[in-house]
Amino acid sequence: MNMIDTKPEISLSHYAGEIRQGNVVAFPTETVYGLGADAWNADAVAHIFELKGRPPDNPLIVHVNSVEMAATLVSEISEDARRLMERFWPGPLALILPKRPEVLDIVTAGLPTVAIRVPNHPIPLRLIEEAGPIAAPSANTSGRPSPTRAEHVRQDFGAEVPVIEGGSCQYGLESTVLDLSIRPYTILRPGHITQSSLEQVLRQPVRMVPSFEGETTGAPRSPGMKYTHYAPDARVRWMRPDELPRPDFPAAGTLYLLHRIRPGDVPIRGDRNLIHYGEDYTEMGRDLYDRFRMADLKGYSEIAIEPFGDSGEDVEALLNRIRKAIGG
Ligand code: AMP
Ligand code: MG
C-alpha cells in the first residue's frame, strides 16, 4: 500500500476536526473514495457541489455509523429497512427513506427522502464517530470515473482537497442504491449487494431500474441517473467477434479488457494493451475505473471490452457501469 499522503503526524482526529469546522475531506470507503462534509452544515455541503461541478438536483448519500445515527436523519425505520440494515450494514447498500424535516434540502436536492448507509471501512467510521453524519458523493469531478485510489482524487482536485490515503478500494464500484420509499422497492443503482440477495432478505420481489430509465421520459427516479457517468475520454465499446482473428489485432490505440480470451490465444506483441480478467468479474469491477483513467493518461483512444453474460458475482453492477460508460 502506498502511503504518500498520510503523514503520520496527521491523525484521523485532525481530519474529523476539519469536517467539524466545515471543510471538505476525501477518504477511502470499501466502494470508492468519497468527498465528505458535515451533513448538518449547508455551506460545507454546498462546497462539495462546487468542487465537483455537480448539478444541484443530484442528491448525496449521508454516511452514518449505526442504525441509531440513521434514525436522526430518517422519519421512520420500517421493519423491512431494519432487516436490511441488520443484514448488510456496515456495507455497500444505500437505503432511501423518508427524511426528517431538519435534513438539509441541499443534501437531498429538495427531495422528501434521504439516502443513507454505513460504510464498511475503519477510516470513515472513525471520522463519523468524531464528526457525526457525513454527506459524501464519490470524490471525482462530475462525469469522471469514480476514484478507487487516493491518486485518482489528486488527479481531479490537486491540492484543493486533502485526501486520506487508504490504498485501493475493496469493491471499486459504487454502492447499491435501494429506494424503500416506493413500491415495489426499487434498485436505482446496482452494486455489490445484488437484487437476489435483497429479495431473499425482504421475501418479496425487488424491481431493478434499467440502466437508462428516465432519460427518455425525463422523469428518472434517481436524479443522478440522468447524467453521463463513469466515462473516460477514450471511447468505451464492446469488442466485436470479428476482431480477434484479424491480422491487425490488437489495434495499437485500443486497450482491450478480456474475459474468456486467454493470454495464449492472442499475439505476444499485444501484451501491453491486453488485460485479462479470466472471468473474474469482481476483480474487473475493482479495476475498471483505474483502467479507464489509465487509458486516458496513456492516450488510448478506445477501450474495447469483450462481451460477457449477465450472471455471476458482481456482474450486475459491472454491466451497468460499462453500459453507462458506453452511453446506451
Ligand atoms: P454518488 O454518491 O455520487 O455515488 O451518487 C449517489 C447516488 O444516489 C446518485 O445516483 C443519486 O442520484 C442517488 N440518490 C441520493 N439520494 C437520493 C434520493 N433521496 N432519492 C433518489 N436517489 C438518490
Ligand atoms: Mg458519483
Which pLDDT tens digit goes with each residue over 92-109?
999 999 999 999 999 999
Residue 271: pLDDT band with limits 50, 70, 90: confident
Please name the amino acid found at residue 274. L
No. of helices (H) and no. of strands (E), the chain: 10, 13
Which pLDDT tens digit goes with each residue over 234-259?
999 999 989 988 888 999 999 999 99
Ordered DSSP codes for 51-65? HHT--TTS--EEE-S
Closest ligand 1 atom, residue 175 Cα: 4
Which pLDDT tens digit goes with each residue over 48-88?
999 999 999 999 999 999 999 999 999 999 999 999 999 99
pTM: predicted TM-score of the whole model, two decimal places = 0.93
Which residues neighbour ligand 2 (ion) by CB within 5 Å? Answer: 137-138
User: Can you give the residue ranges of every domain in the chain?
Assistant: 12-214, 235-326
Statement: residue 2 has pLDDT above 70: no
Q: At what angle are helices 315-326 and 281-297 packed, to 10 degrees?
A: 30
Closest residue (by CA) to atom 22 of ligand 1?
A: 222
Q: Which CATH number fits domain 12-214: 3.40.630.10, 1.20.1300.10, 3.90.870.10, 3.40.1440.60?
A: 3.90.870.10
C-beta 59 within 6 A of ligand 1: yes
C-beta 58 within 6 A of ligand 1: yes
Residues 6+ away with beta carbon under 8 Å from 246: none
C-beta 258 within 6 A of ligand 1: no
